[in-house]
Amino acid sequence: MDAYSLAIILVVFASFFQGTFGLGMKYMAPLKWEAWWLVQAFVAMILIPVIWALIVIPDLFNIIASTDSSTFWTAALYGFLWGIGGILFGVSVEKTGISITYGIVMGLAASMGCIIPLFQIEGAFSQPSFPIILAGVLLLLIGVGITAIAGVKRDKLKNKNEDSNNKSIKTGVLIAVASGVLSAFLNVGFSNAAPVAKIAVDNYGTSAQNASLASWVVVLIGAFAMNGGYAIYRLAKNNTWSSFKVKNSKKAYLWAIATGVFWFAALGVYGQGAALMGDLGPVIGWPILLGLALIISNIWAYRAGEWKNANGPFKILIGGLAVLITAICILGYANY
């Protein structure tokens, strides 16, 4: 098997984790959100990345210590900005609903997270694959938009008797746009942390595939600073520290840990696949990851009965997924 075929397989595998990890968020009770989130964020952004990286890169901390400070702080800052986007996602859902929010955020995160790293590559416009990448991203946006419309129509069928607050929805859409742009910075941070991986490869003999984990450790330091910091702020503000000791919380803790493991499994495996793709890895791999993850999350939603008695919207969804698959094939071809 050639390296590019393996890269695509790894990104497809990663998309399964990306499209599945959110299932654990349905099982937070009886823990408070902030307690559950702090556990999940620590496992996802600190514990698993560091342990996995140390297993394959014993010199991890020496590599990070020898990284140029500007590279370190830039990558960590992008991770921090992504963390803000994640918080805004939750706010938008409350005002707008999951379907509209998810469609906007996924579309912007996939496209911006692809285009920004592409433009940071020297001579990006002269790349032979440039027009193919743009066509794939445009089609991906169309596919995400169609799936979002399907979700909105499904929700309208289920909430016929509920009045909508147009002002709240408009505010929610603006927040979702901000969330989508900021969410793209996770991949931008990974792309900008490439010098960390290069040190691991050049100075410590690490394979490019494993060296990608060192990049994630740096980016996720910033991500945890935002996510963990916000959870601790909520714990202090609401005085909910006792939530950690609530009875019958074992299942919630297990789901928090499993969610964290699945979340970083998506990034870790994606990073390895992107590394095998070369310089265009973050450009090609990221939209493929999110596009496939959207398909997988909708499969889980279908199995959970969320599309029951919504035949019309479900047909629209199938059309949107078909467009997404086509876009993913185009993006995969762009770097072949």
- Rounded Cα distance between 137 and 328, Å, is 9
Residue spans of the domains in the chain: they are: 3-334
Between 34-48, 62-76, 97-111, 149-163, the lowest mean confidence (pLDDT) is in 149-163
- The pLDDT confidence band at residue 87, using thresholds 50, 70 and 90, is confident
Q: Is the pLDDT of residue 201 over 90?
A: yes
- Rounded Cα distance between 190 and 216, Å, is 6
Q: In this predicted structure, what is the pLDDT of residue 336?
A: 59
pTM equals: 0.85
Q: In this predicted structure, what is the pLDDT of residue 239?
A: 94
Q: In this predicted structure, what is the pLDDT of residue 161?
A: 47
Which amino acid belongs to residue 41? A
Mean of all residue pLDDT scores within the chain: 87
Q: In this predicted structure, what is the pLDDT of residue 166?
A: 55
Asked whether 79 and 220 are in contact (CB, 8 A), the reply is yes
Query: b/e map of 203-242 (b: 16 or more CB within 10 Å)?
Result: ebebebbbbbbbbbbbbbbbbbbbbbebbeebbeeeebee
CA distances from 119 to 60, 151, 178, 282, 287 (A): 29, 32, 20, 12, 15
Q: What percentage of the chain carries pLDDT values higher than 70?
A: 94
- The pLDDT confidence band at residue 335, using thresholds 50, 70 and 90, is low
| Alpha helices for the chain (secondary structure H) | 3-20, 33-42, 48-56, 60-65, 69-96, 98-120, 130-158, 166-183, 185-192, 194-204, 208-238, 250-276, 281-303, 311-334
* Higher-confidence position of 207 and 20: 207
**Rama region for 247: left / alpha / beta (φ>0; ψ in -120 to 50; rest):** beta
Of 144, 132, 101, 134, give the one whose Cα is nearest residue 325.
144
- The pLDDT confidence band at residue 255, using thresholds 50, 70 and 90, is very high
Q: Average pLDDT for residues 275-296, to the nearest whole number? A: 86
Which class for 246: exposed (0-12), middle (13-18), buried (19 or more C-beta within 10 A)? middle
Q: What percentage of the chain carries pLDDT values higher than 90?
A: 46
Token duo for residue 164: 């909508």
pLDDT in tens, 149-195: 887 788 777 766 455 555 566 787 788 889 889 999 999 999 999 99
- Rounded Cα distance between 270 and 286, Å, is 8
Contacts of 83 (CB under 8 A, 6+ apart): 222, 223, 224, 225, 226, 227, 230
Q: Average pLDDT for residues 18-31, to the nearest whole number? A: 85
Q: Average pLDDT for residues 47-74, to the nearest whole number? A: 96
Q: In this predicted structure, what is the pLDDT of residue 94?
A: 67
